[in-house]
Amino acid sequence: MELKATSFGKHLAQHPYNRVRLLSAGVEVSGEKHEYLIPFNQLLEIKCKRGLIWGELEFTLPDEKVVRLHGTEWQETQRFYHYLTQAWQRWSEEMSDISAQALETLAATLQHKKTQDRWLTQRELAELQQQISETFSALPLPVARLESFDNCRAFYQQCQEWLSHGETARATRNDSWTQRMLEEHADFFATVESAPLSLAQARAVVNGEETLLVLAGAGSGKTSVLVARAGWLLRQRQAQAAQILLLAFGRQAAEEMNQRIASRLHDQKPEARTFHALALHIIREGSNKTPLISRLETDSEARQALLIETWQQQCAQKKSFANGWRQWLTEELAWALPENDFWQDRALTQRLASRLERWLGLMRMHGGAQAAMIADVPEAIRDTFTKRIKLMAPLLKAWKSALKDEGAVDFAGLIHQAVSLVEKGRFISPWKHILVDEFQDISPQRAQLLAALRKQNRQTSMFAVGDDWQAIYRFSGAEMALTASFHHYFGRGDSCVLDTTWRFNDRIGDIANRFVQENPHQLARPLNSPIKGTKKAISLLPDDRLEDLLNKMSGYVLPEERVLLLARYHYLQPALLAKAKTRWPKLRLDFMTIHASKGQQADYVILLGLQEGAEGFPAPARESVIEEGLLPEPEDFPDAEERRLAYVALTRAKQQVWLLYNRQQPSLFVENFKRLGVPLLRKP
């Protein structure tokens, strides 16, 4: 059956279409030069309109596209429209039954997901939404028409709700599930650690996202959360102990975690290990070899002796090498060198040894050849960097020769070998859950190992606990961006905040939190304390008042209370501490660098050295082009890491902090603290 425009109508309308023909499951609209096929599965609406003289048919298609036929005789138009709509409706009813069956099956899947007794992850939601979209695209009816059919309407609306408001529905469902878990397992959260978990800690423990970052401020109980997380996975039978990998950065931290696990998780005990121990395990399993760790990694004297001896030999044997080093040390580091055989100067070699260790360590961590290192650095420093790398090359060669003679590997080599074995499939990861402590200290090399393990099994979850406010190890290769932009690097997931500290009072917390967050690159969040502190819980004091302060403290500090003196460098230890045991025998005094104090706490903290200058705090930048080329790029904010270092110092204290500053050359941090409301005392 077909409908044509009249000759007069065709002439006046001047329209590309002047004929329509009814097909078995669609219509064909055509003209002298144009032809358009409209299947029923693309047809949304048919309208029949009457003009002044002729009739008009209007076909509405997806994306607001409209096809019109003009100039047809009105009665013929009505008759064609009647037959067309009947055919279209018969087809639609038949197709609605098929669509309803598909939608009902899909709706049942969605309902099952909605009522499952577990966390619904973002990945699962994305897969569901993809399934919905694919089902919609496979239906014989246009999606826009589904609501007009009684047998499809309810199922379609259920599916559409997941598409349009899926994240809201997921969050609501997970919140409800979390609340029920906290109630049903209240005994677990009350007893898994020595003190009951807080609400924020418990919610982090049960969060089921596959990639989760827990931001744990100083004193907020991060270790408790890690232990409880392992216990929760075992309790819920989401994993056996051997399927849980706990990672710490230092041997002491791993041992402490294992002690906590042994005392709290009595049945199954997952093992915490360092990244290096993990790499050793992977190499043993993947190659049936047990690598020997070079003594150079544990013997600092031997390590420095090898580097200095190689350096001296090169300087003595090659004039160009000696000239290159003289230029490097005088121009870039501004060191004063002796004339002639400067490499024989004992004071210089002692000063240089630690620098050589650091530069060689960064080259080993990179792991690539010279050309690869040079290619990776910014073009602005590439020429200078190339010269420096060539000067360091003999030292790297000597290091590799020493390892070969010893039949051993270094720590950087361990990680590189482990990554290679995992990527080649020679080691199959048994771990379903990876839990990482102190994540802010992660380096690109260690992150690469985590990524390789997860890539091998995409179902592997990662539970990372860290604090970007305490990221203070960039000099050893840690990259804060891996925490600050966590999901960019490790995939879609969630973040939790442990927002309560039990270590220090709210006055110390207020000053420390505002101070560190002046850097906009730090992740903004609250860290509250239920302990009230007075305005003098943190104060500024001239550094010539240290002895007066200790005299006063000796009168009220209890014998079991700890007083921690902190400085930027070891050699800034005050001379008067040499007489401390006899002068203040009841004071429990300890001195350490701020870096060494990480993880420590004390009742009272005295921060030394707030002065400007070469030995000051914040410390002036001392990087050479080697660090600039091989270390992660720092944030674009003045003294960013030094500010975090100050935050670490402040947050070691439970009760009170004194910030000792130089009257003549006060640190720029002093003005910072004054602006934040820290009182300036003339005497203790």
pLDDT tens digit string along 397-444? 999 999 999 999 999 999 999 999 999 999 999 999 999 999 999 999
**Is-contact 647 469, C-beta < 8 A?**
yes
d(CA 248, CA 470): 16
Q: What are phi and psi of 213, to 5 degrees?
A: -110, 120
- Considering the chain, what is the average pLDDT of its residues? 93
Asked whether residue 66 carries a pLDDT value surpassing 90, the answer given is yes
pLDDT at res. 404: 95
pLDDT tens digit string along 556-598? 999 999 999 999 999 999 999 999 999 999 999 999 999 999 9
Highest mean pLDDT, choosing among 114-123, 257-266, 665-674: 665-674
For range 368-376, the mean pLDDT: 89
Pick left, alpha or beta for residue 362 (phi over 0 → left; psi -120 to 50 → alpha; otherwise beta). alpha
Going from N- to C-terminal start, the domains of the chain cover: 1-182, 187-291+426-498, 295-408, 535-675
Asked whether residue 77 carries a pLDDT value surpassing 90, the answer given is yes
d(CA 461, CA 469): 24
pLDDT at res. 232: 96
pLDDT at res. 358: 92
| Angle ∠(94,47,146) on CA atoms, nearest 5 | 35
Q: What are phi and psi of 517, to 5 degrees?
A: -85, 0
- CATH superfamily, region 535-675: P-loop containing nucleotide triphosphate hydrolases (3.40.50.300)
Biggest CA pair distance of the chain: 120
Q: Tokens 């990259």 sit at which residue?
A: 479
Give percent of the chain with pLDDT exceeding 90: 86
pLDDT tens digit string along 2-52? 999 887 667 665 678 889 999 999 999 998 888 999 999 999 999 999 877
- CATH superfamily, region 187-291+426-498: P-loop containing nucleotide triphosphate hydrolases (3.40.50.300)
d(CA 260, CA 579): 38
Asked whether residue 368 carries a pLDDT value surpassing 90, the answer given is no
Confidence of residue 243 (pLDDT cuts 50, 70, 90): very high
CA 430 to chain centre: 23
Structure tokens at 374: 């040079």
CATH number of 1-182: 1.10.3430.10, 1.10.3720.10, 2.30.29.30, 3.40.50.300? 2.30.29.30
Helices (H) and strands (E) in the chain, counts: 24, 18
d(CA 358, CA 632): 14
pLDDT at res. 9: 63
DSSP string, 69-113: EEEE-HHHHHHHHHHHHHHHHHHHHHHHHHHHHHHHHHHHHHHHH
For range 144-161, the mean pLDDT: 96
Confidence of residue 70 (pLDDT cuts 50, 70, 90): confident
Q: Which of 616, 620, 33 is nearest to 333 (CA)?
A: 620
pLDDT tens digit string along 344-365? 999 999 999 999 999 999 999 9
Tell me which H or E stretch contains 310: helix 300-317
pLDDT tens digit string along 505-531? 999 999 999 999 999 999 999 999 999
| Residue 4: strand, helix, or coil | strand
**Residues with Cβ within 8 Å of residue 218, at least 6 apart in sequence:** 467, 469, 470, 501, 503, 504, 512, 527, 647, 648, 651
Q: Can 187-291+426-498 and 535-675 be said to share one CATH topology?
A: yes
| Residue 116: strand, helix, or coil | coil
Confidence of residue 308 (pLDDT cuts 50, 70, 90): very high
How many Cα atoms sit within 13 Å of 504 on the Cβ side?
29
DSSP letter (8 states) at residue 270 = P
How many Cα atoms sit within 13 Å of 557 on the Cβ side?
25
**Is-contact 85 174, C-beta < 8 A?**
no
Structure tokens at 68: 């019109």
